[in-house]
């Protein structure tokens, strides 16, 4: 485990230094981190064995909330927007959550999908407010009161995103290992027993749901600020599917897997979009099939298997 | 609202419900027997539609009778759906029955993604429109309103035939009994000597053929384009979940309910037409968490 911790620090340091050597990579990395946060939200729910096929709802909701807030505040402030976006998706998560935590498995997944489709349709149809399919422009916010040029702003945004991801990742890790986090895992193994222990399964899941919505919300705000534009595409079901895909790719149930998966996914997508523009979806599909059929533990599981092989005998890689 | 709009909305709704039912019934059948929610179903629907449109255009350009399109689309879709179903069940799905539910869902999602790109590579990105069959069938008067016969007679006819045929097959043939027995209790059925693998293969293939047929029959009435599979999959999910998973007859009732709801929304509140199916679904699930016809599952302790 100690070796793993050093390795983790090394990787984070490497990512932190990457834009200094390869300036093109900061856009890519911010988007990967933004998606990684939404995927982290999926991972939290997967701990309870539930999969949301509509998490793009919260990704999009916070992006739109941030865009409206920026318009009202006249430009706005990066950190304020992040907080407002997260709160917006948190409130929405509470409202939707009150309804969906009554359901499990496929009903849970499909109801989430339904909510996100409704939101997508609303964004498209009520174009007087939302700009329809053209979306809303989100002008570059100031950072701590300082208006930055494009380039320094992108660097700042990258480091803000990295720091946010590190803090939130650590918090989620703590949450999953706390008592409410353990109760969450018990929903997957045996919900009835959990109820017999006097713990409300719905309450536990609702807390997780709001956390998960807020994580997706922070991701959505980051992506919106990076791209300077929010469109209904943010809420489309393909994006929700992407989040679930990345969660499985990274290794369901791992905080690190979410970010590792997002990095690999975005990287592969970027190259495939150039090399095989009409086929990248096909290739992603094949990759997903191979992962599920032959390495259902995902990237994290693969890493454990490889490192376990080289670890000294008698010590289990964990 | 006057009688004309009312009639139009009912006719539109029934035609639409028939299309949705063809896809939803296969999906609910597959779920009932195999316990897999098949996202790839939208892909089979789209491929059926593309094939049918391609065949229709070929027939039109060869100067043959547009009526030929009807048998050609049935045969084409049945063959395409059959081959795809057999191959996918035998070489992919067979290996995932032991995996977690979430992973099974993802595998069908992956197949759906692959099928979408296959369509793009084979048929290109431009939309197809092959409506000569609809024109050839002409219009008929319903309460004094001319409406095209294809949508008012043929589509609902095919859907009813499918429902009756499927019911007869499931309840009055040996193969059908094997399928219902496996759906009821797979372990007990296997113990009685039912080959579950073969039942799964058969069920999945029936499902894919139905989806491809649904697409093939829908093709003459709309422009066939990329993304139609995704829209249909989400909609038929709504139908299947609202009906209660695995309910064949329930899917028919719900398809009509959602089809009518949507067409009335189009005439009365055009902004809400896309939302209507989901409103209905949420309302139903609020009152009946397992769907209209679904049964409560026993819980393990």
Share of chain A above pLDDT 90, in %: 11
Q: How confident is the model at residue A66 (pLDDT cuts 50, 70, 90)?
A: confident
d(CA B77, CA B47): 8
Complex ipTM more than 0.90, yes or no: no
Contact residues, A window 288-317, toward B, CB-based 8 Å cutoff: 288-289, 292-293, 296
Task: Note whether B233 and B112 are within 8 A (CB).
Answer: yes
Query: What's this model's pTM, rounded to 2 decimal places?
Result: 0.81
pLDDT (0 to 100) of residue B227 = 77
Facing residue for B245 by CB, picked from A106, A117, A278: A106
Which has more confidence, A228 or B201? Answer: B201
pLDDT (0 to 100) of residue B182 = 86
Residue numbers of chain B with a pLDDT score lower than 50: 298-301
Mean per-residue pLDDT of chain A: 81
Burial of B250 (0-12, 13-18, 19+ CB in 10 A): buried
Q: What is the DSSP letter of B286?
A: H
Task: Name every chain B residue with its beta carbon within 8 A of the beta carbon of A51.
Answer: 102, 105
Q: Has residue A8 got a pLDDT over 60?
A: yes
Q: Has residue A315 got a pLDDT over 70?
A: no
Domain ranges, ordered by start, for chain B: 3-226
Please report which residue ranges of A101-176 form alpha helices under DSSP H.
Answer: 105-125, 127-130, 150-176
The reply to whether A318 touches chain B by the CB within 8 Å rule is no
Return the minimum-mean-pLDDT range out of A17-31, A32-46, A259-273. Answer: A17-31
Q: Has residue A314 got a pLDDT over 60?
A: no
Q: Please give the structure tokens belonging to residue A165.
A: 């991801």
The reply to whether A265 touches chain B by the CB within 8 Å rule is no
Task: Note whether A190 and B300 are within 8 A (CB).
Answer: yes
Task: Name every chain B residue with its beta carbon within 8 A of the beta carbon of A96.
Answer: none
Task: Name every chain B residue with its beta carbon within 8 A of the beta carbon of A296.
Answer: 99-100, 103
Facing residue for B237 by CB, picked from A110, A125, A244: A110
d(CA A282, CA A275): 13
CA-atom Rg of chain A in angstroms: 19
d(CA B23, CA B235): 10
Task: Note whether B66 and B135 are within 8 A (CB).
Answer: yes
Q: What's the CA angle centered on A66, arms A62 and A68, to 5 degrees? A: 115
pLDDT (0 to 100) of residue A210 = 93
d(CA B134, CA B69): 10
Pairing relationship of beta strands A229-230 and B139-142 according to DSSP bridges? unpaired
For residue A113, the distance in angstroms to the closest alpha carbon of chain B comes to: 8
Q: Has residue A61 got a pLDDT over 80?
A: yes
CB pairs under 8 A between A and B: 114
Q: Please give the structure tokens belonging to residue A210.
A: 């709001």
Q: Please name the residue that has the structure tokens 């959550």.
A: A97
Which has more confidence, B221 or A315? Answer: B221
Q: How confident is the model at residue A91 (pLDDT cuts 50, 70, 90)?
A: very high
Q: Which residues contact residue B88 at a Cβ distance below 8 angstroms, ignoring those fewer than 6 apart?
A: B40, B111, B204, B208
Tell me which residue of B9, B29, B75, B5 sits closest to B252, measured CA to CA: B29
d(CA A129, CA A67): 11
Which has more confidence, A21 or A122? Answer: A122
Q: Has residue A305 got a pLDDT over 80?
A: no
Contacts 24+ apart (CB under 8 A), A68-77: A68/A136, A70/A138, A70/A139, A70/A141, A71/A136, A75/A139, A75/A140, A75/A141, A75/A142, A75/A147, A76/A141, A76/A142, A77/A141, A77/A142, A77/A143, A77/A144, A77/A145
Mean pLDDT within A242-256: 79
pLDDT (0 to 100) of residue B208 = 93
pLDDT (0 to 100) of residue A253 = 66
The most confident of the ranges A274-283, A307-316, B249-258 is B249-258
Return the minimum-mean-pLDDT range out of A10-14, A168-172, B17-21, B267-271. Answer: A10-14
pLDDT tens-digit profile of A216-226?
A: 999 999 998 88
pLDDT (0 to 100) of residue B262 = 87
d(CA A215, CA B265): 35
pLDDT tens-digit profile of A118-166?
A: 888 888 877 777 777 777 777 777 777 677 777 777 888 888 888 898 8
Tell me which residue of B224, B32, B100 sits closest to A46, measured CA to CA: B100
Which has more confidence, A84 or B145? Answer: A84
Which residues of chain B approach chain A closer than 8 Å at the C-beta?
A: 37, 92, 95-96, 99-103, 105-107, 109-114, 116-118, 120-121, 230, 234, 237-238, 241, 245, 271, 274-275, 278-279, 281-282, 285-286, 289-290, 299-301
Across chain B, the runs of DSSP E, i.e. the strands, are 139-142, 145-148
Pairing relationship of beta strands B145-148 and B139-142 according to DSSP bridges? antiparallel
Q: Has residue A232 got a pLDDT over 50?
A: yes
Task: Note whether B276 and B265 are within 8 A (CB).
Answer: yes
- Asked whether the beta carbons of residue B286 and residue A288 sit closer than 8 angstroms, the reply is no
DSSP helix/strand/coil, B52: helix
Which has more confidence, A44 or A228? Answer: A44
Q: Phi/psi at B148 (nearest 5 deg)?
A: -70, 135
Q: Has residue A317 got a pLDDT over 60?
A: no
Q: Which residues contact residue A119 at a Cβ distance below 8 angstroms, ignoring those fewer than 6 apart?
A: A57, A60, A61, A235
d(CA A162, CA A159): 5
Domain ranges, ordered by start, for chain A: 21-236
d(CA A113, CA A313): 46
Q: How far from A17 is each of A11, A13, B129, B135, B226, CA to CA, in Å?
A: 10, 6, 53, 65, 41
pLDDT (0 to 100) of residue A309 = 62
d(CA B253, CA B259): 10
């Amino acid at each position: 485990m100690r070796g793993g911790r050093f390795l983790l620090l090394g990787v984070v340091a490497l990512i932190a230094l990457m834009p200094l050597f390869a300036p093109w990579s900061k856009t890519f990395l911010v988007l990967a981190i933004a998606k990684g946060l939404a995927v982290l939200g999926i991972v939290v729910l997967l701990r309870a064995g539930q999969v949301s096929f509509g998490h793009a709802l919260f990704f999009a909701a916070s992006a739109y909330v941030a865009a409206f807030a920026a318009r009202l505040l006249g430009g706005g402030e990066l950190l304020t927007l992040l907080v407002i976006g997260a709160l917006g998706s948190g409130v929405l998560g509470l409202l939707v959550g009150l309804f969906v935590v009554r359901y499990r498995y496929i009903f849970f997944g499909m109801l989430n999908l339904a909510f996100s489709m409704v939101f997508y349709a609303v964004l498209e149809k009520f174009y007087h407010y939302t700009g329809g399919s053209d979306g809303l422009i989100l002008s570059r916010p100031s950072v701590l009161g300082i208006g930055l040029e494009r380039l320094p702003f992108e660097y700042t945004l990258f480091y803000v995103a990295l720091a946010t991801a590190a803090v939130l990742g650590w918090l989620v890790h703590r949450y999953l290992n706390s008592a409410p986090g353990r109760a969450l895992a018990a929903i997957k193994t045996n919900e009835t027993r959990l109820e017999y222990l006097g713990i409300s399964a719905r309450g536990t899941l609702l807390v997780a749901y709001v956390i998960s919505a807020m994580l997706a919300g922070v991701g959505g705000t980051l992506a919106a600020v990076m791209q300077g534009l929010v469109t209904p595409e943010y809420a489309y079901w393909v994006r929700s599917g992407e989040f679930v895909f990345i969660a499985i790719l990274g290794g369901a149930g791992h905080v690190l897997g979410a970010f590792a998966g997002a990095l690999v996914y975005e990287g592969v997508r970027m190259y495939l979009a150039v090399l095989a523009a009409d086929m990248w979806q096909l290739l992603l599909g094949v990759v997903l099939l191979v992962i599920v059929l032959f390495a259902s533990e995902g990237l994290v599981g693969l890493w454990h298997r490889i490192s376990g092989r080289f670890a000294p005998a008698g010590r289990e890689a964990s | 609202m006057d009688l004309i709009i009312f009639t139009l909305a009912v006719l539109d709704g029934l035609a639409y419900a028939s299309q949705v039912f063809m896809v939803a019934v296969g999906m609910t059948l597959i779920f009932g027997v195999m316990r897999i929610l098949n996202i790839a179903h939208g892909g089979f629907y789209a491929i059926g539609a593309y094939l049918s449109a391609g065949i229709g255009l070929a027939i039109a350009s060869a100067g043959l009778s547009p009526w030929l399109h009807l048998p050609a689309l049935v045969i084409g879709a049945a063959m395409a759906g059959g081959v795809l179903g057999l191959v996918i069940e035998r070489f992919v799905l067979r290996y995932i029955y032991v995996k977690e539910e979430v992973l099974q869902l993802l595998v069908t999602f992956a197949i759906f993604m692959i099928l979408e790109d296959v369509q793009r590579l084979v048929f290109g990105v431009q939309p197809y429109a092959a409506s000569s069959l609809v024109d050839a069938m002409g219009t008929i008067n319903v309460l004094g309103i001319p409406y095209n016969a294809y949508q008012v007679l043929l589509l609902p006819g095919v859907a009813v035939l499918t429902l009756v045929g499927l019911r007869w097959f499931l309840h009055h043939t040996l193969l059908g009994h094997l399928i219902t027995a496996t759906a009821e209790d797979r372990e007990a059925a296997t113990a009685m000597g039912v080959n579950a693998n073969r039942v799964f293969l058969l069920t999945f293939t029936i499902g894919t053929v139905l989806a491809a047929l649904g697409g093939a029959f829908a093709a003459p009435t709309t422009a066939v384009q990329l993304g139609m599979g995704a829209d249909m999959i989400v909609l038929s999910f709504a139908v299947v979940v609202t009906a209660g998973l695995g309910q064949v007859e329930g899917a028919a009732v719900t398809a009509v309910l959602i089809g009518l709801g949507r067409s009335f929304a189009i005439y009365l509140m055009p902004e809400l037409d896309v939302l209507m199916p989901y409103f209905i679904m949420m309302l139903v699930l609020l009152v009946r968490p397992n769907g209209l016809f679904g049964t409560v599952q026993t819980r393990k302790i």
